[in-house]
Structures are given as structure tokens and as C-alpha cells.
């Protein structure tokens, strides 16, 4: 049974699913849709064209769907779409899209957004991603599934973060991070592969061995990057994670690929 606290303000035009809980001092706008089993703890603000998927939990003082922090935004109708079974902790902010980014910000399923994290306009977040406390994404950022953005990190607009990547805490990310990669630093450098995360996802020893070998070949000093990618593609054509890295690097992007430091190895 849906439970709406008497101290909450819920617009009569909002679409509220079954078994939704809306705590005291929450504000839900007229164009908001809350699917079944959504929980708003208290003091949650949800506005704009925002849809929240089933089973998502939203903690106090989160603000979802307010206007993008973009001076090019002029009130055009845009959306924030949040998937199912997400956990959105205190003081998290998420903004809808803009005309320059397809008018949609999209969050996948089973993600965790810790205290104070921020998702700007037009970001695309895949399933199982984690933003740790006060991690911030600028506009148009893409985050792959199972990626982790460490606490107090900041990601530049239009950067892509590949699946299973790990962004170390207090890292400034200006360039694309390859799938399975790990980056650290004031201005992020690739410090190797996210071996801990890969093991947690139950990758086999052979897959991890090939990933390490392919990583060293891709970022070796000999030859051009294009030549190295061709060599790796030929040697590891049957290894799906390696091919995902190659596809990521070859894809068009407005940002460069984050490179290793001189002494960093997989």
C-alpha cells in the first residue's frame, strides 16, 4: 500500500506506483513518475520530467530533476530517467538533459550514489555503477557498467569511463578511461588494470592473464598506437574483455585516451 506522509507535498498530476513510500517534507512535481516500491525517506525534492524506477531508495535532501547547470539551457523539455533498484544517498544531485546532449540524462539499474555525488546534464550511467562520496560528473559523461568513481573525484565533460574501470579517490579525470582500467592522480594517469574489481566479478585467471598481456602491448613504446591495436586484435581475437578495450579506444570521442605514467604497469 502506498504511504504518503501528511507533511509531503505531492502534485496531484504526479504518477505514483504501488507500495511507494514518501516521507515527511518531500516535494514531488507534476511531471514526476515514481514506479512501484520506490522509497523517499524525507526532505527529498524530485522535479521536472523525472522517472524513478521500481525499488529505488532515495535518502534525505537528495535533489533530482532540477534545471541543468548549463547556461545554454533555456527551458526546453528534457528528462531524467532513473532505473530500478538504485540507492541514492543524502544530498545527491542529478540534472536532466539539454538540447546539446539529446535531452536526456539516464541512470541504469542497481547503481549506488553515495553522499553528495553529482550527475550533471546528459550523463549516461550504466548498470551497477558506483559514485563514492562527493564524486562529481560534468555534463555528457558516460560511465560503463560496474565502474567505480572514487570519493572527491571530478570527471571532465564528455569523458567516457569504460566498464569495470576504477577511478581512485581525489582524481581529476580529463581523458577517457579504458574498460577494466584503473586511474589515479591530481590529473588522472592510467595506473594499470582494475585487478581487484575484475577478480570480484569472477573473471577467470586466463582472462586476467590475457588482459594484463594485452594492456602491456597496447601501451608499449614500440610502433604507433594503430599498429599496436592491430597486433592485439590479432593475438586476442577470442578474448571478449580485450576486444571491448580495443572497441572503446577505436570509438570516436572528443577526449583523448588516458595514458599510463612512465613507471606504471598492469
C-alpha cell at 148: 567505480
- As a whole number of angstroms, the distance between CA 7 and CA 114 comes to 26
Which residue in 65, 29, 59 sits closest to 42, CA to CA? 59
Q: Which of these, 27, 20, 107, lies nearest to 63 by C-alpha position?
A: 27
Secondary element (H or E) of residue 124: strand 124-125
Q: How many CB atoms lie within 10 A of CB 204?
A: 9
Q: Among the options 97, 139, 151, 162, which is catalytic?
A: 139
* Catalytic one of 31, 122, 176, 210: 122
The β-bridge partners of 137 are 119, 155
For residue 206, what are the β-bridge partners?
Answer: none
Q: Distance (Å, rounded) from C-alpha 31 to C-alpha 165?
A: 35
Catalytic residue check, 122: yes
DSSP state for residue 100 in the 8-state scheme: G
Q: Which of 118, 121, 128, 140 is catalytic?
A: 121
Catalytic amino acids? 121-122, 139
Amino acid at each position: 500500500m502506498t504511504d504518503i506522509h501528511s507533511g509531503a507535498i505531492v502534485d496531484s498530476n504526479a504518477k505514483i506506483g504501488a507500495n511507494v513510500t514518501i516521507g515527511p517534507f518531500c516535494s514531488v512535481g507534476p511531471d514526476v513518475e515514481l514506479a512501484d516500491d520506490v522509497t523517499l525517506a524525507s526532505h527529498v525534492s524530485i522535479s521536472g520530467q523525472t522517472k524513478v524506477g521500481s525499488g529505488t531508495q532515495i535518502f534525505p535532501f537528495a535533489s533530482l530533476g532540477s534545471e541543468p547547470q548549463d547556461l545554454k539551457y533555456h527551458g526546453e523539455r528534457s528528462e531524467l530517467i532513473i532505473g530500478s533498484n538504485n540507492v541514492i544517498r543524502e544530498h545527491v544531485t542529478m540534472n536532466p538533459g539539454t538540447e546539446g546532449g539529446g535531452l536526456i540524462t539516464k541512470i541504469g539499474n542497481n547503481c549506488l550514489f553515495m553522499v553528495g555525488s553529482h550527475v550533471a546534464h546528459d550523463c549516461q550511467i550504466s548498470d551497477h555503477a558506483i559514485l563514492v562520496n562527493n564524486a562529481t560528473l560534468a555534463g555528457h559523461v558516460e560511465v560503463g557498467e560496474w565502474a567505480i568513481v572514487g570519493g572527491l573525484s571530478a570527471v571532465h565533460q564528455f569523458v567516457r569511463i569504460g566498464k569495470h574501470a576504477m577511478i581512485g579517490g581525489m582524481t581529476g579525470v580529463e581523458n577517457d578511461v579504458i574498460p577494466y582500467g584503473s586511474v589515479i592522480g591530481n590529473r588522472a594517469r592510467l595506473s594499470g588494470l582494475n585487478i581487484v574489481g575484475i577478480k570480484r566479478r569472477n573473471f577467470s585467471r586466463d582472462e586476467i592473464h590475457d588482459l594484463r598481456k594485452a594492456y602491456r602491448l597496447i601501451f608499449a613504446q614500440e610502433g604507433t598506437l594503430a599498429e599496436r591495436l592491430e597486433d592485439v586484435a590479432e593475438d586476442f581475437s577470442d578474448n571478449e574483455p580485450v576486444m571491448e578495450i580495443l572497441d572503446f579506444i577505436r570509438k570516436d570521442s572528443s577526449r583523448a585516451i588516458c595514458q599510463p605514467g612512465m613507471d606504471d604497469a598492469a
